[in-house]
Structure 1
Amino acid sequence: MPVNKIHAAIQFAALAHGQQKRKGTEIPYLVHPFEVAQLLTAEGAPEELILAGLLHDTLEDAHIAPEQIEEEFGRAVALLVLSASEDKTKSWEERKAHTVEYLQRDAPYEALLLACADKLSNLRSIAADHESEGEAVWDRFRRGRAQQRWYYAGLLRAFAPLQDTGMYQEFCVLFEEVFGC
């Protein structure tokens, strides 16, 4: 895999996310797309998917235009990033229901892998913070534990085609740790 594309995506993501922090923490946001790319790399994902992992939140969180991603990294990467982006003009419930429905019905395998890596990274953070903060962790989210459980349970069902991957297996374990059966 040519290092220059990965390097370019790292720089692009770093500039796009700037000084953003992970929700409710002082951890630089950039840790999240790096972890997503690492999870995809560990699964043996192709370069375009790893690039999309690095860039997956630039549209909705950094207000980058899809055309800019396509110009810099190609149409396939831009389409994958679009597949991982939510319409922030809609309510939380509408966005999450749409995401779960898309993943269950329409998402190609690579989009499922990208979404699983993204949501696993988020669930890792929630699990670590839940361990140290307890139920107070839910205060940093727009919706509380019950709504988050509903969303992550839907994701768990949507990710079933990935059951042979390490990401899916870890997702299952963390879901049970955080939310119970």
Structure 2
Amino acid sequence: MTRKIIALIGLCFAGAALAACSFSAAEAAPMIAAAAHSAAAPEVLAATLAVAGLGATASPSLQATEAYSASKATHPRVSLADMEGKIQRQHFFTAGDAIAALGQPTDPACPTGLLTICILVMENGFTVIGKAAPVSPENFDAEKGRTFAYEDAIKQLWPLEGYALRERLSAEAA
């Protein structure tokens, strides 16, 4: 499986048509998981994430964590691709948007438009909420808010997925 991924990456970066490099998340997730669990170099994993179109919303911080974890892993682990492959929907909005949509009064002294919220809906219906807000209103950047809120949600999901994996491994060993 890892050789297939590396060969595919080689084709993509050698100038093959981009259409040959596109996968659905469901198709790409097992290949990326195999690469993550292999001895593949971190840059190969990062390229795999990029080619498969996964990790596009993951911050450089999450991608660096994934690459480092993958480079040191010798046994089953939860990868960023594992988690991203289970995300059914993502929703981003500010608290100010939500308050306005509910028809609630807003207070100009309380800058709720600076609090970015990310809701990840997983395949099984479980939801994870990430949030981000700048210390200074002048530093608000909607794109950064979405990135950091997504990162916060993923960081909350990671230990839950780790627990679920540990449960599966424990059950298999019994």
Query: Structure 1-normalised TM-score?
Result: 0.29
- Structure with the larger helix share: 1
Query: Structure 2-normalised TM-score?
Result: 0.29
Q: Which has the higher contact order (CA 8 A, sep 6+)?
A: 1
The structure with the larger Rg is 2
